[in-house]
Amino acid sequence: EPEVTQTPSHQVTQMGQEVILRCVPISNHLYFYWYRQILGQKVEFLVSFYNNEISEKSEIFDDQFSVERPDGSNFTLKIRSTKLEDSAMYFCASRTGPSGEQFFGPGTRLTVL
């Protein structure tokens, strides 16, 4: 069964460093998402992406964040200058059409020291 994959599974970085989290969505999916879950808190929406542009972003998704689909398979989330409060599980999700269930990857645990 096709699945969303994410790399790395765990990323440790120093505050102020740039990180890139990578996702490979399911191949025939057209809508892509990033969510995060800070330890002990809810899963929160960050951004949605369709047709090579951001379709919606939350108030969390400030200028420090960017997303890109550099080729036909990868979908990346970049955090330019990480802060301690960026430490969280980051989940990528995708789906075929504009509605319906989203399929989630296993997540990347980001630890900012």
Partner 1 sequence: DQQVKQNSPSLSVQEGRISILNCDYTNSMFDYFLWYKKYPAEGPTFLISISSIKDKNEDGRFTVFLNKSAKHLSLHIVPSQPGDSAVYFCAASVRTSGSRLTFGEGTQLTVNP
Q: Does 58 bind partner 1 (CB under 8 A)?
A: yes
In the block, which residue shows the tokens 């809508």? 31
With contacts defined by CB under 8 A, name the span among 14-22, 62-70, 75-83, 102-110 that binds partner 1. 102-110
Q: How far is the CB of 51 from partner 1 (least distance, A)?
A: 12
- Closer by beta carbon to partner 1, 61 or else 79: 61
Question: Would you call 85 helix, strand, or coil by DSSP?
Answer: helix
Per CB under 8 A, which of residues 4..43 are in contact with partner 1?
Answer: 4, 6, 31, 33, 35, 42-43
Amino acid at 12: V
Candidate ranges 12-20, 44-52, 65-73, 77-85; the one touching partner 1 (CB under 8 A): 44-52
- Closest listed residue to residue 104, CA positions, set 94, 113, 112: 94
SS3 content of the chain, % helix, strand, coil (to 5): 5, 50, 45
102 binds partner 1 (CB under 8 A): yes
Q: Which helix (H) or strand (E) holds 6?
A: strand 5-7
∠ CA(109), CA(34), CA(15), 5° rounding?
Answer: 45
Residue 44 is a binding residue for partner 1 (CB under 8 A): yes
Instruction: Give the nearer residue to partner 1 in terms of CB position, either 14 or 40.
Output: 40
